[in-house]
Amino acid sequence: MEPEPRFEILGALRAFRGADPIDLGPAKQRAVLAVLLLHPGRAVPTHRIVDAVWGEDPPENGTNVVQKYVAGLRRALGRERLTLTGGGYLLCTDPHAVDAEVFRAEIARAVAEHRAGRNEPAAGIVADALALWHGDALDGLTGPLFDTARARLAEDRAGAWELWAQLGLARDDPGLVPELTRLTGEFPLREGLRAQLMIALYRAGRQAEALAVFRDAREYFLDELGAEPGERMQQVHRRILRGELEQPAPPHPAPPAPRTGHPAAPGSPAPPHPAPPAPRTGHPAAPGSPAPPHPAPPAPRTGHPAAPGSPAPPHPLWPIEPLPTAMLRPGHGRIPWLQVVAAAALPLFTCGFAGWVYFVYAAVQRGRRRHLLVAALYAALAVFVVVMFAVDPTPVESETTSAAEDIAVLSMLLLWPASAVHGAILAAHPGDTRSARARRDLARRFAGVHPAGAVQAGIGRPDLLRFFDDGGLVDLNHAPAQELARLPGMTPFEAHRIALDRYQNGPYRQPADLATRGLLAPAKLRRIESWLLCLPPGQQPAPAG
């Protein structure tokens, strides 16, 4: 006897008989099956199938077209699986043969276990349920019915992740931080996940990062929604500031080895920490499947970083290799007042004739051609003044001025303050400098030789408190969306898309992937590429200090 077919809609629509996949035919035929799967145990009228599959562009004879696709599904699934009733077509199958129904039932069972105080089996049930997902629900199917079902299932999935994190917090799991960081990027509007990340960071002894999560979330909600974070996040924030949360657990001597296999069955001994669910085996995971579990974060660093040139302490959070000494000098984030005074004084003491000199210096230091064009403009204006005075036929002792003299004086009066004020403003905003570019090159070379050490040190993570300067690099695989949005010309929407895409479709191998994946225009990518870095995921950055 042939095994019963089972169906998967938590990702691309698939069907299996045992371990063998079933050919479901063309795209429209698969869409007809998806409509029936979304109404398990209920008959679906033909006109509703037509509306769901074809929308505003139905075929001329929709009833016959649906009959044709139903006949194809009967050949694939068995004639007895699809019957025509007075209310429409009915798919006769066990509700537990559809992965979405299994997912909901398992989450309800996990909630019941959690309420009964049995967190160990509840965590295993949730992990198994989340492992059913292999991408976005109903991936590839379009239309209002599928969009609504996809949004509802995505909400169920986000709620399941919140339950998973809640169980992890109840078990004091040290491996929550990396996965919660990923989840807040995948579900940026879920305040529960952000609040749980704050608690997990605080318990790991990373209070500053926990408060930074609230700050970044507040900026994101105000920019995107025009609203403050909800009461849950604000309450966690207040409790962290007042020290009312549980005290951080003592640091572990070394991060535990990552788990392999599936979560433990109820009653089995608890492993060192529960790993997030792994993708299902037997079938390849779709590009949108959850990322594999990351290693647990190392213990918080204590004390202060060693002085440049001193040996690195034997601590698991210290980078694999010491950072180059040139990077350990702090960056200059303050206004260079000496340059501001020099840029303003030079035109004032030369009546504006040397106002172009600072712009040439800025062009050389910053590598920007536009400063050379400004310098050329001021130099040309100075030459114009000299020429107008030279061609003036009026004797020097004359009491009246000629038109050429008037033009020259007015031009000089314009040149004098304009070049002084313009130069002072430019000096007060250093922007990209030769020193910053050199530090970026140095950081890239270090990351190329010791990528794990670069991740642990926080290279490319301006959101972390660090004791070195990497020239303003931004790591596409680890930096949050808020830092991506600070890149020149980057909009918050583009930054959010980049952060979401790296979790849905995998990490970036090189900055050019932003253009390959259609996230940024090539011209915009060229403008910001010198600030971008792609470090391999799988390591947890270490907070400095």
Return the HEC string of 215-237: HHHHHHHHHHCCCCCCHHHHHHH
Report whether pLDDT(295) > 80.
no
Distance CA 134, CA 136 (A): 7
For the chain, what is the mean pLDDT? Answer: 79
In this model, does residue 367 exceed pLDDT 80? no
pLDDT digits (tens, 9 = 90+) for 346-365: 888 887 778 788 788 877 76
Predicted pLDDT at 5: 92
Does residue 181 carry a pLDDT above 90? yes
Burial per residue of 527-545, b for 16 or more beta-carbon CB atoms within 10 angstroms, e otherwise: ebebbbbbbebbbbbbbbe
- Per-residue pLDDT tens digits for 77-132: 988 889 999 889 999 988 789 999 999 999 999 999 999 999 999 999 999 999 99
- What would the DSSP string read from start to end of 230-270? -HHHHHHHHHHHHT-SPPPPPPPSSPPPPP-SSPPPTTSPP
Domain limits of the chain?
1-171, 337-429
pLDDT tens, residue by residue, 395-443: 656 667 677 777 877 887 888 788 888 878 877 765 667 777 888 888 8
Confidence of residue 76 (pLDDT cuts 50, 70, 90): very high
pLDDT of 301 > 80? The answer is no
450 three-class SS: coil
The half-sphere exposure of 448 on its side-chain side, counting CA atoms within 13 A, is 7
Give the residue from 361, 415, 337, 359 showing the smallest Cα distance to 383: 415
Phi/psi of residue 12, nearest 5 degrees: -65, 145
* Fold (CATH) for 1-171: Arc Repressor Mutant, subunit A (1.10.10)
Which pTM was predicted? 0.48
Q: Is the pLDDT of residue 463 over 60?
A: yes
H or E element in which residue 83 lies: strand 82-85
DSSP string covering 512-539? THHHHTTSS-HHHHHHHGGGEE-PPSS-
The tens digit of pLDDT for each residue in 202-218 reads 998 899 999 999 999 99
Kindly give, in sequence order, each residue whose CB lies less than 8 Å from that of residue 440, ignoring residues fewer than 6 positions away: 470, 471, 472, 473, 530, 531
Candidate from 112-116, 274-278, 537-541 with smallest mean pLDDT: 274-278
237-251, 306-320, 388-402, 427-441: the lowest-pLDDT one: 306-320
Supply the DSSP symbol for 174: T
